[in-house]
Homo-oligomer: A and B are copies of this chain.
C-alpha cells in the first residue's frame, strides 16, 4: 500500500494538530514536507516530525512537487493564492477555515479547483465529530421533525492570532471562530443564509481597540435562511473558564443538544466545590477525534473514493455569511444576502 504524501503549509498551532494526526493516527498517509517562513518553527517541526524537506515559499514546494496533497494552515489572506497555485500544480487541497477573505476569492478558488479537477476540502471538522454526526443522522431520520431553529455557541480561552484581530484584513473573530458556527447552522438548515443581523462588543480587550478600532471579542448573531429556518450564534474569546462549543437544533417535534461544557471525565464532590466536572480546556481536546477523522476522510478521497464532505461551495457560503455579519456589525443594519 502506497502512502499518500502530504505537504503542510504553515507550521502553527493547527498545523501541528494535523501533523500529529498524520504521524500517530493515519497510517495511510505521511507528512513529507513543511512550508513555513519562521526559521525556528521550521527547525522544531522538521525535527519533531522527522521531515527531510522544508520550504519558505509554497511555490518552491510545488515546484519540488513530490507529494499528492497539501494542507493549508496559513493566515486566511494567503488561502486563495496557495489554493490556486496548488490547483495549477494538480495537488489536492485541504484548506483550513475560513476559506477566504471574501466571496470573490472563494469563487476563484472553486473555479480553479474545478478546472484542475483536484479535490478541495474545507476544515470544518465539527462535521466529523461523533456528536454532530449523530445529530445530523437523527435529524435526517426525522426524529425531531423539520428543523426550525439552529443555535450555536463557541467560546474559547485564547485570542485569535495577531493577524486575525484586524477585522478588515481577516474577517476578525467572526471568521476565525464563528465560521464553525455559521457552518453548523447551514449544515442543519440545509439552505442558504437570507438575512443576518449582529451585535458585537469589546468587553475584555480594551488595549486591542486602540490598535484595531473595529476589534470585538464577543458577538451575537441572528439569521434567517432562504427556507425560513432561523439561526442564532454567539461567540466570545477570550473567556476565562474554558473551551465551550455547543449546538442546539430545535425541530417541529423535538430538540437535539450536541456538546456540553463538561468534558465528562469525572465528577468530584466536595463541600466547597459542589459537584464539579472538569471543563474542556481547548478545541484541540474537544475535537481531537474530529480533527483526525476529517483528515482521514480527506486522505481517503485523495486515494480516489468520493467527494469532499465539506466542499469549496460550502466554504464560500460561510465566507459570505461572515462578511454579511461583519457588515451588519459595522452598519448597524441587517444584511440581506442574495439567494
Residues B232 and A271 in contact, CB atoms below 8 Å apart = no
- How far is B267's CA from A279's CA once the two chains are assembled, in angstroms? 12
Distance, CA A267 to CA B242, complexed state (A): 14
Contact status of A265 and B134, CB under 8 A, knowing A240-B145, A273-B273, A276-B274: yes
Decide yes or no whether A138 CB sits under 8 A from chain B: yes
Tell me, in angstroms, the Cα distance from A260 to B257 when the chains sit together. 12
B334 A197 Cβ-Cβ under 8 A:
yes
Are A279 and B269 neighbours in the complex by a CB distance under 8 Å? yes
Given A260-B264, A267-B257, decide whether A252 and B273 contact each other with a Cβ distance below 8 A.
no
The segment from A20-28, A40-48, A53-61 found at the interface with B is: A20-28
Contacts of A277 in B (CB 8 A): 274-276
Q: Mark A303-336, 1 if CB is under 8 A from B, else 0.
A: 0000000000000000000000000000011100
Indicate if A112 sits at the interface (CB-CB under 8 A). no
Contact A257/B266 with A149-B234, A222-B197, A279-B275 known, Cβ cut-off 8 Å: yes
**In the assembled complex, how far is the CB of residue A49 from the closest CB belonging to chain B, in whole angstroms?**
11
Report the separation of the CA atoms of residues A267 and B135 in the bound assembly, to the nearest whole angstrom. 9
* Residue A143 is within 8 A (CB to CB) of chain B in the complex: yes
Identity of the chain B residue whose Cβ is nearest the Cβ of A202 in the assembled complex: B228
In the complex, chain A residues 256-299 whose Cβ is within 8 Å of any chain B Cβ = 256-258, 260-262, 264-271, 273-279
Q: Does A250 contact B (CB under 8 A)?
A: yes
CB of A158 closer than 8 Å to a CB of B: no
The answer, yes or no, to whether A80 is at the interface (CB within 8 Å) is: no
Q: Is A148 an interface residue (CB 8 A)?
A: yes
A255 interface residue per 8 A CB criterion: yes
Cross-chain contact of A256 among B1, B145, B267 (Cβ < 8 A): B267
Q: Say yes or no: is A301 at the interface (Cβ < 8 Å to chain B).
A: no
Map CB proximity to B onto A32-52 as digits: 1 under 8 Å, 0 otherwise: 000000000000000000100
- For the complex, is A119 an interface residue (Cβ under 8 Å from B)? no
Distance between Cα atoms of A151 and B130 in the complex (Å): 27
Residue of B nearest to A195 (CB): B199
Nearest Cβ on chain B to A36's Cβ, whole angstroms:
23
Contact B334 A270 (CB under 8 A): no
**Given the known A-B contacts A148-B203, A266-B131, A275-B277, are A240 and B261 also in contact in the complex, defined by CB atoms under 8 Å?**
no
Instruction: Write out the residue numbers on chain B whose beta carbons fall within 8 Å of the beta carbon of A25.
Output: 24-25
- With both beta carbons as reference points, the residue of chain B lying nearest to A219 in the complex is identified as B230
Q: Does A165 contact B (CB under 8 A)?
A: no
Report yes or no: A269 in contact with B275, Cβ–Cβ below 8 A. no
Return A322 CB to nearest CB of chain B, in Å: 17
Q: Hey, which chain B residues are within 8 Å of A270, CB to CB?
A: 143-144, 240-241, 253-254
- A224 interfacial contact with B, CB 8 Å: yes
Q: Is A159 an interface residue (CB 8 A)?
A: no
On whether A250 and B222 interact (CB within 8 A), knowing A25-B24, A261-B269, the answer reads no
Q: 8 smallest A-B Cβ distances: which pairs? A: A254-B270, A274-B276, A276-B276, A131-B265, A257-B267, A262-B275, A241-B269, A241-B254
Beyond contacts A145-B240, A241-B254: 20 other A-B pairs, Cβ-Cβ < 8 A, are A130-B265, A144-B268, A148-B203, A149-B218, A149-B220, A197-B197, A199-B224, A218-B230, A218-B250, A222-B232, A234-B250, A239-B255, A240-B270, A240-B271, A241-B255, A262-B274, A264-B264, A273-B276, A275-B276, A333-B333
